[in-house]
Amino acid sequence: MSAFSQLRLDGVSRRFGGQAALTELDLTIEAGEFIALLGPSGCGKSTALNCLAGLLPLTAGSIWQDERRIDTLPPERRGFGMVFQSYALFPHLTVRANIAFGLRMRRLPKEETRRRTEEAVRLVRLEDHVDKLPGQLSGGQQQRVAIARAVVFEPSLVLMDEPLSNLDAKLRLEMRTEIRRLHQSLGLTTVYVTHDQEEALSLADRLVVLREGRVQQIGSPRELHTRPANWHVADFMGYRNLWRGRVGQVDGDRATVEPSGHRLLGEVVGSLRPGVDAVVAVRPEDIRVDGPAETRNAMSATVEVVEYQGRELAAEARTDTGLLVHLRTEHRIAPGDEIKLAIDPQRLLVYPADASAQTDRLADAAGATR
Ligand code: ATP
């Protein structure tokens, strides 16, 4: 269905007054791909999407659909479908009329409008609700109408800006599957903005992680999950344990780091020299609790807080030297318990520390403030 084989963003930048919201975004999107733009609030995700949509002019750079430059075109001439956080449905029009609206505006023949509308209704499973007004629908159903309206004219690209953020947790999961199903069955090309890393990992073929308007990493869900490019991306991808420490030895892609007096061995990402500051990143689920006599990266700790999370417990424990550890375990541990921890060196990533590694948040995570 896509009317192009590649969409290319070339140095796309946007400033507001003196402030850069997006700086030199380079990205090539292949037809049929599902791309997620991911990052914390204010990192420039919506700015990037709005530049693509044509709702915001670029301050530098260009956007190309194959050989055709499109950043100079107004939004309606780009022919992209858009779904936003707020559904923005016409309250006085029925579901059917809302979905057909775009086709009517494009003056498609009546019969084709009817056929395509019915097909879109079926795709988003709203057959039983076509004659209702938006006010008579649940949030999830309204968002389905918004999605149907965006895909009904078979756009070459669908842009979605946090489309699920107004829905409750259960509906969000259902709609996530729905969006992926639609993307596949219609052969859409989709760019999807979210701050939810789990949502991005489960939906996208490739993720673009932004921070302060700059790309930090572009990669597959697996790459982002197992090998974040820097500690900021690691932080964002669920590596809740971020410990600052001095580098001891470096041996190829292995290094020892000493946060709060613990000597830990891990995998180096980037380049490091002995004696410099590093940030160690470990996921809570990669901390082993009372495992078989593991001697590498072993620590003793006291459990401080335990949260019940179904099959697993999420807990915070503090080592004898004061390092705060976030962990997940199936063991039944309780506050006050003494536990033995171990971390597989392959699951312990060591990053060069940058100036922002001196922030209070990281110091706190390292337990250095207590
Ligand atoms: P969120 O998840 O909170 O929506 P975001 O990653 O989508 O955040 P953007 O909305 O793209 O972030 O904003 C990026 C930066 O640009 C922010 O610092 C924001 O304050 C700034 N910004 C965005 N729109 C405007 C505007 N119209 N005028 C001035 N500054 C803006």
Q: Which SS3 state, helix, strand or coil, does residue 81 take? A: strand
DSSP labels, 146-202: HHHHHHTT--S-EEEESTTTTS-HHHHHHHHHHHHHHHHHHT--EEEEES-HHHHHH
Instruction: Tell me the pLDDT tens digit for each residue of 234-292.
Output: 999 999 999 999 999 999 999 999 999 999 999 999 899 999 999 999 999 999 998 66
pLDDT in tens, 9-45: 999 999 999 899 999 999 999 999 999 999 999 999 9
Atom of ligand 1 nearest to the CA of 195: 2
User: Which tens digit of pLDDT belongs to each residue from 223-248?
Assistant: 999 999 999 999 999 999 999 999 99
Report how far ligand 1's centroid is from the alpha carbon of 271 (Å).
33
The CATH number that domain 6-226 falls under is 3.40.50.300
- How many helices and strands in the chain, by DSSP H and E? 10, 20
Question: Which of 13, 43, 159 most suits a substitution to test ligand 1, by most atoms within 8 Å of the C-beta?
Answer: 43
42 C-beta closer than 6 A to ligand 1: yes
H/E run at residue 102: helix 95-105
Among left, alpha and beta (phi > 0; psi -120 to 50; other), residue 42 is left
How high is the pLDDT of residue 76? 85
- Domain 231-366 is in which class? mainly beta
Domain ranges of the chain: 6-226, 231-366
- pLDDT tens sequence across 184-204: 988 899 999 999 999 999 999
Q: Is residue 5's pLDDT more than 50?
A: yes
Q: What is the pLDDT of residue 367?
A: 44
Q: Is the CB of residue 18 below 6 angstroms from any atom belonging to ligand 1? A: no
Residue of the CA atom closest to atom 15 of ligand 1: 21
Output the average pLDDT for the chain: 90
How far, in whole angstroms, is CA 99 from its chain's centroid?
A: 29
194 ligand 1 Cβ < 6 A: no
Average pLDDT over residues 356-370: 51
Question: Mean pLDDT across the stretch 76-83?
Answer: 88
In this prediction the pTM is 0.88
Q: Strands 312-319, 324-329: parallel, antiparallel or unpaired by DSSP?
A: antiparallel
Ligand 1 atom, smallest distance to 43 CA? 6
Reported as a single tens digit per residue, the pLDDT across 215-229 is 999 999 999 999 999
41 lines ligand 1 (CB under 6 A): yes
Residue carrying structure tokens 């007054």: 17
Confidence of residue 370 (pLDDT cuts 50, 70, 90): very low
Separation of CA 25 and ligand 1 centre (Å): 15
- What tokens were used for 187? 């052969």
Whether 42 contacts 22, CB under 8 Å: no
Per DSSP, what are the bridge partners of residue 206? 35
Nearest CA owner, ligand 1 atom 21: 21
Please tell me if the domain spanning 6-226 has the same topology as the one spanning 231-366: no
What pLDDT is attached to residue 360? 46
